[in-house]
Amino acid sequence: MSSTPSSFLHLAVALDGTGWHPASWREQSARPRDLFTAGYWADLVAEAERGLLDFVTLEDGLGLQSSHFGEPDGRTDQVRGRLDAVLIASRIAPLTRHIGLVPTVITTHTEPFHISKAIATLDYVSSGRAGLRVQIPPRPHEAAHFGRRTFPPFSLEGIQSPAGQELLTDHFDEAADYVEVVRRLWDSWEDDAEIRDVATGRFIDPDKLHYIDFEGRHFSVKGPSITPRPPQGQPLVTALAHQTIPYRLVARQADVGYVTPHDAGQARAVVAEIRAEQEAAGRGDELLHVFGDLVVFLDDEPAAAEDRRARLDALAGEPYTSDARIFAGTPAQLADLLQELTMEGLSGFRLRPAVAGHDLPAVTRGLVPELQRRGAFRTAYEADTLRGLLGLARPANRYATV
């Protein structure tokens, strides 16, 4: 089922360090000295909430950032190092009221039991505004941090070979099982499992806690969770996808998929493929959002945006490239593009600010008012939970008996 037709599109921003351009930290607005403070992230998310955005995603990783896809690059002229995305989100949650918080979670080396508990906790701390972004990086140097498994060298070219596709399928099947375990653990407490009756001395009803007894090729998890069912029932599950195998994960397990079409034709084809995979997964009647990802350089004049991009490229020593389309122009031009792509079946967009200190305010104070003038974006938050903002119902608990 495609998202419910509406004149409103959905908007999220992806926050990564000082911005997505590798030289962004050298801009006057970048605040690199504040990068590892809670206040820096709180300010960015507060700005996003002022713009009435649906949610922010927070990037994370288990290895240092690199300009090389599968290995460290040894560079010292770009931002290196991160704070933990889930912990940032939990720190920021009490400072915000409406915006969703979606940290990146690396499934490759973490345990689903821990992540289910962490995101359930985030949902409680935020009063129902939590989600997660599933990431599956099979990089050998990251595996070496954990010592429990090894991966062969990994390259973008190697992925396309039959052996690479087989390896990729295995990793994404593991991720699908991972999310399934997380979702079952969220349901392992029924909504009314906590009695909290002081008079009788009964705090919980043990009959409303359930073993999930998951047995798969990758995980064996008994359950139940130690955290009660989250306020949303099921926090938002999201994933970035670039080809058929990841599209299949989105179709099987996600509430929102991020895709990277570079034009309207590609957007139409990608949406069609995800919808077909959604039908094949037996989820054809469920609401699944497909968001387009774009890197954005926004200025009042198109030439200023292009000049800024060129200046940052010169500082970086090479042209910036991305998996996503790179847009440089005015908020009105970006609004035109988003409305055009919405016609191809995308229900929203996740914008990646090239320079967080510059392009995030350009989104909230330039793009959002432009979309509002066109009747294409909300003028107030109309729901208290992240699922509510996206039109997703609170799901029934799979273990509860009627």
List the binding residues for FMN: 60, 104
Compute φ and ψ for 93, nearest 5 degrees. -50, -45
Binding site per annotation, positions: 60, 104
Cβ–Cβ under 8 Å, residues 350 and 12: yes
Cβ–Cβ under 8 Å, residues 44 and 95: no
Report CA torsion sign: 99, 100, 106, 110. positive
Which two structure tokens, joined as six digits, stand for 94?
A: 């009490």
Q: Is 330 left (phi over 0), alpha (psi -120 to 50) or beta?
A: beta
Q: Cα 348–104–241 angle (5° rounding)?
A: 50
DSSP assigned state of 192: T
DSSP state string for 45-58: HHHHHHTT-SEEEE
CA distances from 206 to 186, 193, 200, 224 (A): 16, 7, 15, 11
Compute φ and ψ for 56, nearest 5 degrees. -115, 145
**How far, in Å, CA of 47 to CA of 134, rounded?**
25
Find all residues with CB under 8 Å of 46, minimum gap 6, and list them. Answer: 95, 96
The SS3 call for residue 132 is strand
Query: Taking the CA of residue 118 as centre, how many other CA atoms within 13 Å lie in the half-sphere pointing to its CB?
Result: 22
Which two structure tokens, joined as six digits, stand for 388?
A: 């509510």
Compute φ and ψ for 296, nearest 5 degrees. -125, 130
Find all residues with CB under 8 Å of 125, minimum gap 6, and list them. Answer: 90, 93, 94
Cβ–Cβ under 8 Å, residues 343 and 264: yes
